[in-house]
Amino acid sequence: MTLDHADELVVPEGQPPSATGRRTFWHRFAQDRFAVAGAVTVVVYVVVALFAPLITRLLGVDPYTYDLAALDATGAPAGWGGGISAEHWFGVEPLTGRDLFAIVLMGSRTSLVVGIGATVVSMFIGTVLGLLAGYLGGWVDWVVSRGVDIMLGLPALIFMIAIGAVAPESFPRLLLLVLVIGVFSWSSVARVVRGQALGLRSRGFVRASQALGAGHGHVLFRQVLPNLAATVVVFATISIPGAIGAEAALSFLGVGVPPPTPSWGRSIGDAVTWFSSDPMYLVFPGLALFGITLALNAFGDGLRDALDPRSGGRQ
Amino acid sequence: MTRNTTRRRSVGAVSAAAALALVLTACGANDKDDSATGSPAAAQQGGTLHILTSAPSINWDPATSQNLAITTLGLVERRLTAWQTNSDGSTEVVPDLATDTGTASDDGKTWTYTLKDGVAFEDGTPITSQDVKYSVERSFAPELTGGLSYHKSLLTGGDDYAGPYDGKTLDSIETPDDKTIVFHLDSAYGDWPWIVSMPAFGAVPEDKDDVSTYTTTPVATGPYKVADTQEGTSVTLERNDAWDQSTDEARTAGPDSVVFELGQDESVVAQRLIADAGDDQNAFGATFVPAAQLAQVQNDANAKERLVTSGPGALAYLAINTEAEGLDDVKVREALQYAVDKQAFQVASGGAIAGDLATMLITPGIPGREEYDLYPAEPSGDPDKAKDLLADAGWKDRPLRLVVPDDAPTRAKAEAIEQGLKRAGLTVKIVTQPAEVWTQTVTQGDGSKYDLTLSSWQPDFPSANGNIQPLFASSQIGDGGYNLSRYSNADVDALIEQATQETDTDAAAALWAQADRAIGLDAPVVPLIYTKNSFLHGSKVQNFEIPDFPAYPNYLKVSLAP
Amino acid sequence: MNALRFVGTRLTSMVFVLLAVSLLTYAIFVLLPADPAQLACGRPCTPERLETARAFMGLDQNFLVQWWNFVTGIFTGRTFGSAGAEITCPAPCLGYSFVLRQPVTDLIVGRLPVTFSIALGAAVLWLLAGVAAGVVAAVRRGTTVDRAIMVTAITGVSAPSYLVGLLGILLFGFTLDMVPVNGYVPFTTSPVDWAWHLVLPWCVLAFLSAAIYARLTRAQMLDALGSEYVRTARAKGITERRVVTRHALRNVMVPVVTLFGLDLGVLLGGTVITEKVFSMAGLGALLLDAVGNTDVPLLVGVTFFSAALIVVANLLVDVVYGVMDPRVRA
């Protein structure tokens, strides 16, 4: 199973960004209402995640305290809509009576930390390796390309489960998730960056620098990398939902962040069995997860379209 | 040793079912839920029974199977003895291939069996004592490990025997003629009739034995034979015409065919059976009904009629690693007794239908059980008292590692424990591991990788011995033993030994009760609930019964309404 | 000459990748703090019997030796145990599962129809739907239709597969009672039941993946429609329909086929989540069970097989690429 799906990314290897280029870019982006809505939503999610502990404290709820009084004799939430009330805005969790609003709110932190963290890891590894492979070529390219092939050949989810079991129990699980998901998603970034670096290598301004005696490091970081920045940024944006999805999938399979730390994936996994008797338990975390991935995808799409007019909607 | 966490391995591998019962009549004292038994309908013939299971495959090789006598393998393979489950909930050992449950001589060290007339393999060849001997012998082969192995240390010369494949035979099994088989044991063993109900004591024809394929294509001796296997998807059984009902008192062989639907999700199984549509009317679930569907069923009058719940069976408990830093102080362990929220645990398990609150070790219905409660508190615990005890003990807060298998139901229970202990100011870190890794962590090595763990224990046989010895004898620490608390108390060990050797039933029961209390005072575990297993079946399924022991349905008697 | 060298380099790389994948799989699962022999030991398990089981399973050997035995076994086959009772695993032997007591090759062959049925059906569906949607969106770019298609596409990309799958089961299976809830019926048993049981997983997978193809097709299509030769074609008075189907679409197919080949390779290696959700016993389900049981031979065998599929798919994509895009052949 692939964790990311960004092969189709089409960003032209740009010229060094100029002020006018930036203006038209923002202009184009601002016209894409769907993308702007996505961007706003992402900002809202981030703000909510940052202030989640404060918000829950103000409301007097938390995702850990059991409230068995909110359940009926069978362990299902008592009352309408999964126990929705003035006290519990999203109702309560079956079998525990914990406040679902607090769980969903605090769960955003897990999703965003893993999503962003893992993406940073994969972008870093992928960019560095892709850059070196494309720019240096030769055996470096061979090794990196085979590395990409190997990563594609490994069953990522299965390995993540195994690594989770191999890692010492004292190793922080959240960090482990970030690293593992990141390490298993760098290959497609590397592939794209390699392709672009390969193209840039033969371009005039790079050759000129080399002819003037600039070292590899200088050319790589001053000439090639800035030209790839747009690609990497867009790629990162549309990779975050993949990483969030991977965390949710792992939690769904029972190997994500350890309980009782809230996680949307785990809530969804648990809620699925409850769907017939308590549909709201699935609806709230499901919508939260769907919302952030949708917003990030819309935002990333808009970014790409703005950078690459050819694929854009209006011309 | 029934542990719910291992139930995915293979059909019916859920239970050891060794049933080394000291007292065969000991079971059956439980108050039965009426729905569990119902009035026995006559075994209707015909129809196709569907069995929905989460197991991805069925291992038919008797040498490597740990199957219960009353589940999957029992439909295809007979043994010398079988289990009869009665409508009052009791289970007894009855003759199967043999004419009786065994004749002891030489002070219980020699057991003789005579095969019935008219028992045959699926091709019509009569079963001889040689076939039984060969079946037992092959279970010693290193190529065929993994089955129930109690007999391997009991038969004379068994420890040095390595199977028949290198041409050697096990001399302690004699076959003076085609009908007679004699077992010689190292020492007297009164429960041998239960041992010969295990899969290895069936019959395997030597000329049809291929260790590579017997797993999927066994030679049938029971009412059904394996007709079709779709790897990972289904196994279909058809009638075995060579089987004669008049020779078999344990099986009714109602359905014409049986289809196992493999690899099914527990929750989807339950949903299908609640919906009760089409073929699912002729189906039952071999998996427990998950908590969510239990709640659903209880609000659905139609489905509720088709829910069968066992009596209180396994003890679910929180094991405290008595060798871990700080937890070696009995005061701290006492504090845990008060801090745990048993009510939350019960709710997390599915509420009252999932089990009754427990305060002691010996499960209800076991003779000699004397109810006691050394740490009386509300069902939700007494965190304040726990705090006081912890303060007295000078507890230095450190995170307690609660290591559990990574399946969703156990995780929910672990969270219930965590929130309970947190109220008393204890910090708990839940560590989830794949099932086999968890087993390794808690039953092997020095136990330094966990402080707390959750487990449930169904005795292998209906006696207090089965409740106490495997969990609390110091010999059961590490090396695969289930003394998960790593509890070692010389006085208790002596008491266990004394009770095991006591032949007088009442005297033994009193000793076990004494041991239970003595262990309770040391607080190595927190008894949580006596679990009840719930199963669902379709509306046309009849004679679906769960005995008190083991708390699993008897497949051999299920029949279908026309 | 050039073509030969190309093939030679590719084959070397393939072999290297497959060896590395299997070695990595061995390494990681050998590190797992669980003893596979424990499961095969039986109950009660004495330390002596545990040793016997370990020796029989070859666990007493260094994992590099175990790995090498695995590699050579693919060509020569393997036997386990002593004469008379040996378990044979004929070449191509991908190991022997001591938990399921069957050769891994047999298990893979047994599970393959399930995985292939899911993958191929879904792939055809999403290719058709995705490309069609992308073409329509490109031709009607900027309109409500384009917007609607692209929004649907983004929704598809954003939805977690298990959520869509489970909701599908609940809605179409239980509530509306339109399609079977789960389970797999072999094609040979009943082609109709086979397709009927697969409709839901096909649709779910297609819904998730078609989106990517729609976006890709749309982008490529726009690119093509704005290109020189399409403009020339239009100038010649060729109808727009013909321009789209004959000229522009050809341009689109190259990247679509590339992506399709890679995706299909991955999908054929097993879809862990989809198979779990629909209770279908394919390669993904086999892997997931193997992890729970620490069934190392099965894990290595299936991983090796899946990786081989992906590597071969990669190679085929390159070949097709060469055929379809003459520029590459030069």
Quote the minimal CA–CA distance from B373 to chain A in Å: 24
The two three-digit tokens of residue C4, written as one number? 């030969």
C212 touches chain A (CB under 8 A): yes
**Residue C177 to residue B277, Cβ atoms within 8 A:** yes
- Contact residues on chain B for A74, CB-CB shorter than 8 A: 294-295, 298-299, 350-351, 353
* Cα–Cα distance list, B349 to B291, B294, B295, B354 (Å): 6, 10, 11, 6
pLDDT value, residue A10: 41
Burial call C296-312: b when 16+ CB within 10 Å, e when fewer:
bbbbbbbbbbbbbbbbe
Do the Cβ atoms of A3 and A184 come closer than 8 Å? yes
- As for how many domains chain A has, the answer is 1
* CB < 8 Å from C in window 130-149 of B: 138, 141-149
Identify the pLDDT of residue A265: 86
Q: What are the tens digits of pLDDT across the range A196-252?
A: 888 887 777 777 777 777 777 777 777 778 888 888 888 888 889 888 888 888 887
Say whether residue A172 is in contact with chain B using an 8 A CB cutoff: no
Six-digit token string for A179: 């690293």
Q: Where are the domains of chain B?
A: 315-531
| Residue partners of B162: CB distance under 8 A and separation at least 6 | B140, B141, B142, B168
The one-letter amino acid code at B373 reads D
Asked if C79 reaches chain B (Cβ–Cβ under 8 Å), the answer is: no
On average, the pLDDT of chain B sits at: 86
- Does any CB of chain C come closer than 8 Å to the CB of residue B210? no
Residue contact A293–C159, C-beta within 8 A: yes
Higher pLDDT pick, B508 / A281: A281
Q: Indicate whether B35 pLDDT > 50.
A: no
Contact partners of B by the rule of 3+ C-beta pairs under 8 A? A, C
Q: Tell me which of C161 and B74 has the higher pLDDT.
A: B74
Q: Dump pLDDT digits (tens) for B313-331.
A: 889 999 999 999 999 999 9
**Rg over CA atoms, chain C:** 24
Task: Say if residue B104's pLDDT is above 80.
Answer: yes
- Is any Cβ of chain C less than 8 angstroms from the Cβ of A245? yes
Query: Quick check: is A7 in a domain?
Result: no
Cis peptide before C92 (omega within 30 of 0): yes
Least confident range of B209-218, B244-253, B306-315, C243-252:
C243-252
Q: What is the pLDDT of residue B549?
A: 76
- Structural domain including C297 reads 106-329
- Taking 70 as the threshold, does the pLDDT of residue A309 lie above it? no
Report the residue from C32, C99, C181 with minimal CB separation from B272: C181
Residues C200 and C264 in one domain: yes
Domain ranges, residue A61: 25-307
Counting Cβ atoms within 10 Å, is residue B494 exposed (0-12), middle (13-18) or buried (19+)? exposed
Domain holding C155: CATH number? 1.10.3720.10
Q: Which of B54, B341, B347, B442 to mutate to test the interface with A (most CBs of A within 10 A)?
A: B347
User: Which structure tokens are listed for B57?
Assistant: 């495959």
Pair (C117, C253) in one structural domain: yes
Query: Does residue A225 lie within any of the structural domains?
Result: yes
* Whether A13 contacts A199, CB under 8 Å: yes
Chain C contact present for B228, CB below 8 A: no
C227 part of contact set with chain B, CB < 8 Å: no
CATH number of the domain bearing residue A100: 1.10.3720.10
Number of Cβ atoms within 10 Å of the Cβ of A214 = 15
pLDDT of residue A5 exceeding 70, the answer is no
Shared domain for C155 and C140, answered yes or no, is yes
Same domain for C224 and C211: yes
Nearest CB to A71; choose among B347, B415, B432? B347
* Type of residue found at B152: K
Instruction: Provide the whole-model pTM.
Output: 0.85
The pLDDT value recorded for residue C104 is 92
B283-285 and B81-85: which strand pairing? unpaired
Closest CB to B292 among A66, A258, A274 = A274
Q: Answer with the residue of higher pLDDT: B15 or B446.
A: B446
Distance from the Cα of A114 to chain B's closest Cα (Å) equals 19
Least confident of B52-61, B370-379, C243-252: C243-252
pLDDT tens by residue, A272-282: 888 888 888 98
Mean pLDDT along residues B408-429: 93
Rg (CA), chain A: 23
Among chain A residues, CA nearest to B450: A169
List chain C residues with pLDDT less than 50: 328-330
List, as one string, the DSSP characters of C26-93: HHHHHSSS--HHHHHS-BS--HHHHHHHHHHTTTTS-HHHHHHHHHHHHHH-EEESSTTSPEEE-SS-
Closest residue on chain A to B268 (Cα): A273
B207 touches chain C (CB under 8 A): no
Contact flag B211-C41 (C-beta cutoff 8 Å): no
> Is A297 near chain C, with CB under 8 Å?
yes
Q: What's the per-residue H, E or C state across C267-313?
A: HHCCCHHHHHHCCCCCHHHHHHHHHHCCCHHHHHHHHHHHHHHHHHH
- Which residue of C142, C218, C259 is in closest CB contact with A314? C142
Same domain, C47 and C169: no
Of C104, C120, C145, the domain-final residue: C104
**Half-sphere exposure (Cβ direction) of B551: Cα atoms closer than 13 Å:** 31
What percent of chain B has pLDDT above 70? 91
Chains that touch C (3 or more CB pairs under 8 A): A, B
pLDDT of residue B10: 31
CA C108 to chain centroid, in Å, comes to 13
Are B408 and A73 within 8 A, CB to CB?
A: no
Q: Is the Cβ of A226 closer than 8 Å to some Cβ of chain C?
A: no
Distance between alpha carbon C308 and the CA centroid of its chain, in Å?
10
User: What CATH number matches the domain at B315-531, 3.10.105.10, 3.40.980.10, 1.10.287.130, 3.30.565.10?
Assistant: 3.10.105.10
Q: Which of A8, A165, A249 has its CB closest to that of C273? A: A249
Residue contact B414–A269, C-beta within 8 A: no
CB-based contact (8 Å) between A314 and chain C?
yes
Q: Does C119 touch chain A (CB under 8 A)?
A: no
Does ipTM top 0.90? no
Per mean pLDDT, which range of A74-88, B221-235, C75-89 is the poorest? Answer: C75-89
- Residues C240, C154, single domain; the answer is yes
Interface partners of chain A (CB pairs < 8 Å, 3 or more) are B, C
Whether the per-residue pLDDT at A128 is higher than 60: the answer is yes
- Type of residue numbered C59: L
Query: What confidence tens digit (pLDDT) does each residue in A134-182 have?
Result: 888 889 999 998 998 888 878 888 888 888 878 887 888 899 999 999 9
Is C65 an 8 Å CB contact of chain A?
no
Q: In this predicted model, which residue has the larger pLDDT, B104 or C178?
A: B104
C91 and C138 share one domain: no
User: Number of A:B CB contacts under 8 A?
Assistant: 96
A64 touches chain B (CB under 8 A): yes
- Please report the pLDDT score of residue B39 as a whole number: 41
Shared domain for C154 and C17, answered yes or no, is: no
| Residue B172 binned pLDDT confidence (cut-offs 50, 70, 90) | very high
Q: Which whole number is the average pLDDT over B72-85?
A: 94
The reported pLDDT for the residue numbered C35 is 77
Q: Which of B265, B279, B448 to mutate to test the interface with C (most CBs of C within 10 A)?
A: B265
Number of domains in chain C: 2
